[in-house]
Amino acid sequence: MISKYKWWELVITYTGMALFLTFILAPFAEALMVSLRPIDSVFRVPYRFFTDNMTIQPYIDMWTSVPKLGRYILNSFFISCAVTALALACIIPAAYSFARFNYRFRDGFLVAFLAVNMVGAAVLIIPLYKLMFSLGILNTYWAMIIPGAAFSVPTGIFLMRSYFLRIPRELEDAAYVDGASRLYTLRRVILPVALPGIMVVTIATFIAAYAQQFLFALTFNSVTDYHPLPVGLYQFFGRERVLWNELMAASLVGILPVLMVYVFLQRYIVAGLTAGAVKE
């Protein structure tokens, strides 16, 4: 298709995008600027975006103001990884079964899964607390990992299922004719072909887990050593004042693992991995 836009159409397009990006990125820009100022300049009136006493001191001081900051960041990363691994271990087989096998109530199960997702974790927090309590896993990593995984499974199944559905059935038939068992086919044919889909689900789950852990950590965990970053950040709220600049610095550093995971995994989200499998 030849796309020729009038100049004013281009202006509208770019203005729209700029507006959208500004809304999304402005908080980050402000966080960055705050993190690069001494605490006294943060609330200066009149407001100036750039000030002359910019410094990276908050990035150094934050490690001493909150001594366990490194541990919190690692906790966050570890919990998210564990949630992602556990969720994937459930999502992939479940999604494959939803996509390929025929059984009674299959579609009903799928709808039920999604319905659970709509209710959300916040509503279920008290029953979950009781559940964790009776399982005896309050104040352990498990208390944050298991609910985190459970609540990311439904969306994951839905995403993964639609990806599996796009893989031609004849690929499996061919493997079966060649003598391969179901599991062999899943491992050697389906999973490699579904890799881009798996990566999308991995990234989505990881990010969701990173965002979600605050709620679970706050309610199910009171051991400081197990706290993830979002809870740990509270320690910047001092007795008489909040160290906003260090808080922002720590938040930005805390985002880094997510960015790293994203940059590392997005290479695998390449379109056209199924090219050449079947006649188009």
Quick check: 193 binds another protein (CB under 8 A)? yes
**Distance, CA of 255 to CA of 169 (rounded, Å):** 40
In the numeric block, which tokens belong to residue 110?
Answer: 């799928």
Of the pair 174, 207, the CB lying nearest another protein is at 174
**Vertex 63 angle, CA 252 and 204, to 5°:** 30
Q: Does 100 bind another protein (CB under 8 A)?
A: no
Single-letter code of the amino acid located at 5: Y
Kindly state whether residue 179 participates in binding another protein, applying the rule CB under 8 A.
Answer: yes
Residue 78: closest CA among 232, 247, 228: 228
Residue from 14, 133, 176, 237 that binds another protein (CB under 8 A)? 176
In the window 44-73, what residues touch another protein (CB under 8 A)?
none
Options 168, 238, 256, 264; binder of another protein; rule CB under 8 A: 168
Q: Is 131 exposed, middle or buried (0-12, 13-18, 19+ CB in 10 A)?
A: middle
Radius of gyration for the alpha carbons in the chain, expressed in angstroms and rounded: 24
Residue 246 burial (10 A CB sphere; 0-12, 13-18, 19+)? buried
Q: Report residue 223: phi and psi, to 5°.
A: -85, 120
Q: Candidates 54, 119, 135, 170: give the one binding another protein (CB under 8 A).
A: 170
Residues within window 247-276 making contact with another protein, judged by CB under 8 A: 272-276
Nearest alpha carbon to residue 184 among 175, 174, 196, 194? 175
Pattern 221-240, binding to another protein, x per CB under 8 A? --------------------
- For residue 237, the cross-strand partners are 242
Regarding 184 and contact with another protein (CB under 8 A), the answer is: yes
Shortest Cβ distance from residue 276 to another protein (Å)?
A: 3
- Smallest gap from Cβ 155 to another protein, in A, equals 26
The only residue of 153, 175, 203, 250 in contact with another protein, by rule CB under 8 A: 175
Q: Binder to another protein among 34, 189, 200, 261 (CB under 8 A)?
A: 189
Residues that bind another protein (CB under 8 A): 168, 170-171, 173-180, 184, 189, 192-193, 195, 272-279
